[in-house]
């Protein structure tokens, strides 16, 4: 595999220099020669236009080998090129499809892999949501100490403690931001989107964060309705409690449970599986984004261009403390490397976005990565872990 081409503890520059010296000994590049015409590579080289058989002449072996060594040295001296090679190896060596944008803010070193397509962002949309709420707090339109009442219709299947909170309980906007970012609490997320207004939230992203690159963002419950409606249009009649009930059975049983709830036969369904329904939903472009545009948002966040210092620090602190990211990029980074991150997971889709050394723009590296095409989340986690390892071994986590 390409990812093992350069050992993690080896010095590529020294390895290449040693190889050149050995080659010099073989071809007497650096010293005299018993040949009266002088060292081999010091002589003028005369090439025939064609060889005797009419084919172009072969490159002399010494020059061919030096070209290979020069190319290897160039890659060893170029961290973005080394990282790009590692990422190609990860893509080739794992079962997932992967898209990655890496940006080192000092010197603006960048690496792109499959970023010419939109990627489903899943719960990483909770980062721009937190930014949007705090921007309104700074403009005086929102008071973060304001309490919002939890409704039973706000409950959304997934992680987070608010799914188990009593209807009628009240939670401050500041608390909801923490639940949404740290614990990826989908109920808290939908309460915040409901408070801002879905259309208003989307307008705010394009007007105050990044002008282009994000598809329309919906509530998490809206994702459920949109995806299951690809199986059958009557899925719009389901309640949020129906989707919560779906999570009580295995993924392979949810499709049959849906057909039972809608009282339809398999041949009446537009999609023949839950996975097919979600793939059709992904094609609609909702909750998708350009990985470079997401990196723009994160860069502006850590540079203090979206929020004041206290609110910027609050978001970074939440992202440093998330409870869902230990098995992804962070698992491959050098120990104790600060990584402010957000994860997202959906059927056959997963993302991990964040900033390494987020409080030091001169050392900061922005990473936005998404994968698709897996059956088991462990496959996605391994790809992310390998990416973290590659970032550490190519200098992007220093």
Backbone conformation region of residue 263, classed left if phi is above 0, alpha if psi is from -120 to 50, else beta:
left
What the chain holds in terms of domains, given with CATH numbers, is: 2-41+57-77 (no CATH), 98-214+290-393 (3.40.710.10), 220-282 (no CATH)
Q: What is the pLDDT of residue 60?
A: 54
Instruction: Tell me phi and psi for residue 380, to 5 degrees.
Output: -65, -45
Mean pLDDT for back-to-back runs of 10 residues, the chain (398 residues): 35 41 37 40 40 47 44 64 98 96 92 98 98 98 97 92 96 98 97 97 98 96 98 97 95 94 97 96 97 98 97 98 95 97 97 98 96 96 98 96
For residues 351-382, one letter each, b for 16 or more C-beta atoms within 10 angstroms of the residue's C-beta and e for the rest, the string is bbbbbbbbeeeeebbbbbbbbbebeeeebbbb
Report residue 85 as tokens: 């090679």
Kindly give the interhelix angle for 198-208 and 126-139, rounded to the nearest 10 degrees: 80
Identify how many contiguous H helices and E strands the chain contains and give both numbers. Answer: 15, 9
Residue 217 and residue 240: Cα distance in Å, rounded? 18
| Separation between Cα atoms, residue 287 and residue 344, nearest integer Å | 11
pTM here? 0.81
Distance CA 303, CA 138 (A): 17
> Is the Cβ–Cβ distance between 63 and 43 less than 8 Å?
no
* Token output for 192: 């915040």
What was the pLDDT predicted at 76? 57
Closest among 358, 355, 356 to 313, alpha carbons compared:
358
- pLDDT value at position 158? 84
pLDDT attached to residue 77: 75
As beta bridge partners, residue 160 has none
Q: Are 122 and 299 in contact (CB under 8 A)?
A: no
**CB of 369 closer than 8 Å to CB of 99:** yes
Spatial separation of the C-alpha atoms in residues 326 and 276, rounded to whole Å: 30
CB 392 within 8 A of CB 334: yes
Write down the H helix ranges in the chain.
12-27, 61-76, 79-93, 126-139, 173-182, 186-196, 198-208, 220-228, 240-246, 251-262, 274-282, 291-302, 309-320, 329-332, 377-393
Q: What is the 3-state secondary structure (H, E, C) of 223-268?
A: HHHHHHCCCCHHHHHCCHHHHHHHCCCCHHHHHHHHHHHHCCCHHH
Check residue 279 and give its pLDDT.
97
């Amino acid at each position: 595999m390409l990812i093992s081409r350069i050992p993690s503890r080896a010095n590529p520059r020294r390895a290449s220099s040693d190889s050149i010296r050995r080659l010099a000994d073989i071809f007497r590049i650096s010293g005299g020669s018993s040949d009266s015409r002088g060292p081999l590579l010091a002589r003028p080289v005369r090439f025939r236009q064609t060889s005797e058989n009419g084919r172009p002449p072969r490159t002399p072996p010494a020059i061919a080998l030096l070209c290979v060594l020069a190319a290897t040295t160039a890659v060893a001296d170029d961290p973005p090129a080394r990282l790009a090679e590692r990422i190609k190896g990860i893509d080739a060596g794992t079962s997932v499809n992967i898209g990655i944008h890496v940006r080192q803010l000092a010197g603006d070193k960048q690496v792109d892999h499959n970023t010419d397509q939109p990627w489903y962002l899943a719960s990483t949309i909770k980062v721009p949501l937190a930014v949007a709420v705090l921007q309104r707090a700074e403009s005086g339109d929102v008071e973060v100490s304001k309490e919002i009442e939890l409704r039973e219709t706000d409950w959304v299947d997934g992680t987070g403690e608010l799914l188990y909170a009593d209807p009628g309980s009240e939670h401050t906007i500041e608390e909801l931001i923490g639940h949404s970012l740290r614990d990826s609490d989908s109920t808290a997320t939908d309460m915040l989107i409901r408070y801002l207004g879905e259309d208003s939230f989307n307008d705010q992203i394009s007007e105050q964060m990044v002008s282009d690159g994000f598809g329309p963002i919906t509530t998490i419950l809206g994702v459920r309705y949109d995806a299951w409606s690809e199986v059958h249009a009557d899925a719009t009649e389901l309640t949020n409690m129906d989707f919560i009930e779906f999570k009580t059975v295995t993924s392979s049983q949810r499709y049959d449970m849906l057909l039972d709830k809608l009282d339809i036969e398999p041949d009446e369904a537009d999609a023949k599986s839950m996975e097919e329904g979600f793939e059709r939903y992904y094609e609609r472009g909702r909750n998708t984004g350009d990985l470079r545009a997401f990196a723009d948002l994160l860069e502006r966040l850590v540079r203090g261009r979206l929020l004041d210092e206290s609110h910027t620090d609050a978001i970074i602190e939440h992202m440093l403390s998330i409870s869902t990211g230990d098995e992804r990029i962070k698992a491959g980074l050098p120990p104790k490397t600060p990584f402010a991150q957000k994860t997202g997971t959906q059927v056959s889709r997963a993302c991990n976005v964040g900033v390494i050394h987020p409080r030091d723009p001169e050392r900061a590296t922005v990473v936005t990565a998404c994968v698709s095409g897996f059956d088991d989340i462990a496959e996605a986690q391994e790809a992310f872990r390998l990416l973290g390892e590659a970032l550490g071994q190519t200098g992007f986590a220093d």
